[in-house]
Amino acid sequence: MSLRLLEVVADAGHLDTILGIAEHHEVLEVWHGPAGEDDRVAVRLLVRPEKRQAVMDALQGALGARREGVRIVLLPVEAVWPPAEAPAKEEAPRRGGGLTREELRARIERGARLDGSFLLLTLLSSVVAAIGLAEDNVAVVVGAMVIAPLLGPNLALALAATLGDGALLRRALVTIAAGAALTLAVTGVMGALWREPLEAAELLARTRVGLGDVALALASGTAAVLSLTTGLSSVLVGVMVAVALLPPLAAAGLMLGAGQAAAATGAGLLFAVNVASVSLSATATFVARGVRPRTWVERARARQALAVSIAFWTALLAVLVAAILLRRQLGP
């Protein structure tokens, strides 16, 4: 049982409201002490996984209009003794499989930050992927897949559309654009300096795109969201998404640097197909898992953003699939 500890700090006058919410949602335990010198009180709630989003929403609804002096902190619980008794009728976790909307956003937002760590990881994974592709070394390519720096901003695009979060959307777009530009620049230089012919099977495989690659990327986007919402191994899912994102981009850079425009175009097409497919399937999976904003105003805005996002990615994917079919008819 994945319990959470909610710590609510608010004016002492809100204590009865917080205790009423706790009683209404049948939280496991409630603790609070006397008000401090600032006339604020700290209340701790031990919450079951299927209840924590409802409790968070209720607290935000009751205290959101009085944000000054209010703080809600969600903490993980490693273990409880005595063990918490399971409810007589287990409720199926909803809205992200038990993770709250706030937890999902915090996890994904960290991966969408354009900072030194992201740029360094992108640089390292680009070098590793380029060497692995050029030398036909599958183990080295897998090493680049595990790093998976483009996973974060790509998932952030999907979550931003689901929640109608414009700030997160802009941050994700800038981050993924910067990561793609850095990868192309680094691998382009490596392709220009590479002395041996770029004819490795691993590399050439990323310059050819087919309908099977669309299915792979769609599955990768869904698996990535499920890893966040249901606790699957993030490393394994990171590998799946990296298969769809970084290697074709590195292949495009290598071929551009080597002056092989046709092969670079194929790799670039594969990258575009995979970005569109991952974004579309990840967005659909967030919606299917019940991830949505709290208030009806935010939900109305999110519905508009979601409709635009799904229409855009669907149209782009349709255009790219048409390009794949046309490219197949025209030959290599």
pLDDT tens, the chain, 332 aa long: 578 899 999 999 999 999 999 999 999 999 998 998 889 999 999 998 888 889 999 999 888 756 678 999 998 888 888 876 665 555 544 444 557 888 888 888 888 899 999 999 999 999 999 999 999 998 888 877 777 788 889 999 999 999 999 999 999 999 999 999 999 999 999 999 998 889 999 999 999 888 888 988 898 888 888 888 776 655 556 666 666 788 899 999 999 999 999 999 999 999 999 999 999 999 999 999 888 888 888 888 899 999 999 999 999 999 999 999 998 887 65
Give the other-Cβ count within 10 Å of 6's Cβ. Answer: 23
Residue 140 has, within 13 A of its CA and on its CB side, a CA count of: 15
Residues 277 and 206 in one domain: yes
DSSP state of 13: G
The helix/strand/coil state of 19 is helix
Residues 105 and 59 in one domain: no
| Interatomic CA distance for residues 55 and 143, integer angstroms | 41
Residues 193 and 49 in one domain: no
* Token representation of residue 173: 């777009």
Residue 84 domain flag: no
Residue 133 domain flag: yes
pLDDT number for residue 93 = 47
| Interatomic CA distance for residues 217 and 4, integer angstroms | 33
Residues 44 and 134 in one domain: no
Report the candidate in 21, 50, 3, 284 with the shortest Cα–Cα distance to residue 155: 284
Residues 13 and 139 in one domain: no
Residues 263 and 305 in one domain: yes
Residue 92 domain flag: no
Residue 317 domain flag: yes
* Token representation of residue 1: 């049982």
DSSP state of 48: -
User: What domain range includes position 63?
Assistant: 4-76
Residues 9 and 146 in one domain: no
Residues 242 and 143 in one domain: yes
Residues 67 and 180 in one domain: no
Residue 91 domain flag: no
The CATH number of residue 22's host domain is 3.30.70.260
Residue 82 domain flag: no
Kindly calculate the radius of gyration of the chain based on its CA atoms and give it in whole angstroms: 23
pLDDT number for residue 96 = 47
pTM given for the model: 0.81
Residues 303 and 188 in one domain: yes
Residue 132 domain flag: yes
Residues 144 and 72 in one domain: no
Report the candidate in 274, 270, 288, 280 with the shortest Cα–Cα distance to residue 324: 270
Residues 70 and 182 in one domain: no
Total domain count, the chain = 2
Residue 81 domain flag: no
